[in-house]
Structure 1
Amino acid sequence: MILAVLFANSVGNVLIERFNGVPAEERLHWRTFLVKLGADNLKGVKNEELLVACHKSVYIVYTMLGDVSIFLVGKDEYDELALAETIYIITAAVKDVCGKPPTERVFLDKYGRICLCLDEIVWNGLLENTDKDRIKRLIRLKPPSEV
């Protein structure tokens, strides 16, 4: 299961977070841990260079995309390889929506469409869609007859 998907800006403010199967009382711990992990390790990292960590028997894959850092937390069948595939799909979708690796401003301007993409990619903690063209069609918000 994918336990968390979190986007943060360069100073550690959370832009988007999605938790699946994580109790509400543990979310603050995870949020704080992931932002600190990014602050400690993402300085000087190239765009889309993946970093991997392990914490409390879960896997964490994270990267930078423009001014935004992206974190995925998974367990069981979502090990570092599955999370790497998932983060690749997420970064491709975000770049597609924003037109390039996003600045924080562009990311926030496209917030709604990014959330739609995220919902199509990860649903209830499971990887749902991996095809970039299908994700594009699904986020158009048009009736299926016009697709």
Structure 2
Amino acid sequence: MLLAVLIANSEGNILVERFNGVPGEERLHWRSFLVKLGADNLKGVKNEELCVACHKSVYIVYTVLGHVSIYLVGKDEYDELALSEAIFVVTSAIKDVCGKPPTERLFLDKYGRICLCLDEIVWKGLLENTDKDRIKRLIRLKPPTEF
């Protein structure tokens, strides 16, 4: 299961979070843990260079894209290999929506469309869509013309 998708700015403030199957009382722990992990390890990392960690029998893959940090947490079948595929889809969707690696301002300007993309990529803890063109069609909010 994909437990969490979290996006933070360079100061560590959470911009977007999606938790699946994580109790409310544990979410604060995960937020602070992931932001601290990024603060410790993402300095000097190039755009889309993946970092991997393991904590409490879950896998964490995280990266920097422009001025935002993206974290994915998974367990069971969502190991570091599956998470690396998922984070690639997330980063490419964000770049498509923003037109380039985003600054915090650009990210917040495109916040609604980015959330729509995340909802199409991850559904109830499962990786749903990985095809970039399909995600673009689904976030148009128009009825489908082809099946």
TM-score, normalized by length of structure 2?
A: 0.98
Q: Structure 1 stretches (4+) deviating beyond 4 angstroms?
A: none
Distance 1:18 1:133 in 2: 23
The match for 1:90 is 90
**What percentage of aligned pairs have identical amino acids?**
85
SS at match of 1:144: coil
Which whole-Å CA distance do the structure 2 matches of 1:22 and 1:47 have between them? 29
Q: Which one-letter code corresponds to 1:95 in the other structure?
A: K
Match of 1:144 in 2: 144
Match of 1:56 in 2: 56
Instruction: Please name the residue that 1:44 is paired with.
Output: 44
- CA distance, structure 2, for counterparts of residue 26 and residue 3 of structure 1: 11
Report the equivalent of 2:18: 18
How much has 1:144 moved relative to structure 2? 1.9
Q: Which runs of 5+ in 2 are unaligned?
A: none
**1:71-95 Cα distance to aligned partner (Å, 9 max, x none):** 0000000000000000000000000
Q: What is the letter of the counterpart of residue 109 of structure 1?
A: D
Larger deviation, residues 135-144 vs 3-12: 135-144
CA distance in 2 between counterparts of 1:143 and 1:72 reads 30
Question: For 1:80 and 1:112, how far apart are their aligned partners in 2?
Answer: 28
How far does residue 146 in structure 1 lie from its aligned partner after superposition? 8.5
Provide the aligned C-alpha RMSD in A.
1.1
Q: Measure how far apart 1:145 and its partner are.
A: 3.4
Q: What are the superposed Cα offsets for residues 14-73 of structure 1, whole Å, 9 maximum, x if unpaired? A: 000000000000000000000000000000000000000000000000000000000000
Deviation of 1:143 after TM superposition, in Å, equals 1.9
Instruction: Give the aligned residue type for 1:134.
Output: R
Q: Say if 2:119 is the partner of 1:119.
A: yes
TM-score, with length taken from structure 1:
0.98
Aligned residues: 147
- Please give the secondary structure, in 1, of the residue aligned with 2:137: helix
Q: In the aligned structure 2, how far is the partner of 1:21 from the partner of 1:113?
A: 24
Gaps of 5+ in 1: none
